[in-house]
Amino acid sequence: MPRAKRIYTPGGVWHLTHRCHNRDFLLKFRRDRVRWRYWLFQARKRYGLCVLNYIVTCNHIHLLVQDRKQGAIARSLQLVAGRVAQEYNQRKSRKGAFWEDRYFATAVATDHHLIQCLVYVDLNMVRAGVVRHPEQWRDAGYHEIQAPPERYRIIDVEALCGLTQSRSPESFRASHRRWVRDELERARPLRQARWSEEAAVGPDSFKQRFTACKPAF
């Protein structure tokens, strides 16, 4: 069977998921989730990774990024996963794999599907029944979108404004709060396998581009 072709999509948006080995709760302590965020900041700083949203749970992560520079995603993921695993294993005197072999990448169309994915990431711990609102889980992009820190920013709000055609960061934040509120009011959020199992999410013409292809990272 021939290998799937590699596809590079400048400006494309990707939803990435990476699980701990055997789905163990290796990120259950907040200090490890904070370190994951620290190395994500370093990846943005070193490689120019464009981060749109993220969340660190107790046994996996979700990361929404825009591919702006070829090789940036691959180098960033290698840095973050490698350093988090190394620090954890050294502290615990542990050997063996920390992560599953590879992360999974899903291409996301930059239309209403992007907004759906953004909110899907925000509501991860709500779906798990751990919190009632994303503001209650500190290790996520929701807080930084709504209240950007003075230093160590990870989320590229300007990129989110451009992708969602928002007039300003303030306008985007208001829309973001509304999207989350509407989803919470609609029904109890449920897991949607398409975001973590399909090659692409979007219109049929968009998804066809990724048939039998893999991302170039």
pLDDT digits over 131-142, tens only?
A: 999 999 999 999
In DSSP terms, 140 is beta-bridged to 55
Task: Answer whether residue 154 is part of any domain.
Answer: yes
Q: What Cα–Cα distance (Å) separates residue 122 from each residue in 99, 135, 160, 209?
A: 22, 9, 14, 27
Kindly indicate the confidence band of residue 1, based on its pLDDT and cuts at 50, 70 and 90. Answer: very low
Answer whether residue 201 is part of any domain.
Answer: no
Task: Give the model's pLDDT for residue 5.
Answer: 65
**Total domains present in the chain:** 1
In sequence order, which residues have a C-beta less than 8 Å from that of residue 13 and are 6 or more positions away?
52, 64, 65, 66, 67, 107, 108, 109, 110, 114, 117, 163
Q: What is the pLDDT of residue 8?
A: 79
pLDDT at 2: 46
Instruction: Specify if 13 maps to a domain.
Output: yes
- Tell me which residue range forms the domain holding 49: 5-196
**In a domain? residue 161:** yes
> What is the pLDDT averaged over residues 41-54?
98
Percent of the chain with pLDDT over 70: 98
pTM score above 0.85: yes
